Amino acid sequence: MLDLTPAALALAALLPLAPVADDPPPPAEPPQATVWEFLVDKYDANEDGRITKKEYTGISDRWKLLDLDGNGWIDEKEVESRGRVAKPRPDKKKVTAPKVGRRAPTFELEVMTDLAHLPEDAPDEEPEVDPKEGKRSDKDAKMKEPETIALADFRGKKPVALIFGSYT
């Protein structure tokens, strides 16, 4: 199932209306579980149908966002009836958006590779080894080395549209 949050729907406006003909369709996500099914599968170590603070190994200061009544354990009823908690952000870091006309903050970030669009045989390929050097070939090194892009790469060449967002 393709899940689209409001931000995801807005992002769709930035994309072409139809995928490129040669591109394989992205793999379908598995059937959607509930949040409780997700949590119990991951954290309910003794499989008693509830998760205690001791069993929870996620971010410790996030436990209070799950255990709303503070009794030290959560169950399906508590988790699925939460709604939006809307508490202040755990980190109250003040951030300011750069204004028009000011220099854009520089960055250099890793490029994500869409594994769904790699050739089908790519994951099974053995690393190419140079028989003389006994090392990985340049081709393999390029595959393993994370590619990065810096904002400065485009200075003097073309404008850059930055679309910030997340999955949810």
Partner 1 sequence: MHATYGDEIEFLMVYIREAHALDSPWPMGGKDGAPIVEDPVTYGERKDVAQRCMQALDMSPMTMLIDGIDNEVGDAYAAWPDRLYLVNEKGKVAYAGGPGPFAFEPDELEDAIRAELDLEPIKRKPKKKGK
Q: How far is the CB of 165 from partner 1 (least distance, A)?
A: 4
Please identify, using beta-carbon distances, which residue of 83 and 134 lies nearer to partner 1: 83
CA–centroid distance for 132 within its chain? 40
CA 107 to CA 8: how far, in whole Å? 24
Q: How far is the CB of 50 from partner 1 (least distance, A)?
A: 16
Q: Three-state SS for 7?
A: helix
Please identify, using beta-carbon distances, which residue of 65 and 129 lies nearer to partner 1: 65
Q: How far is the CB of 130 from partner 1 (least distance, A)?
A: 29
How far from 61 is each of 16, 49, 68, 74, 91, CA to CA, in Å?
41, 22, 13, 15, 11
Please identify, using beta-carbon distances, which residue of 39 and 44 lies nearer to partner 1: 39
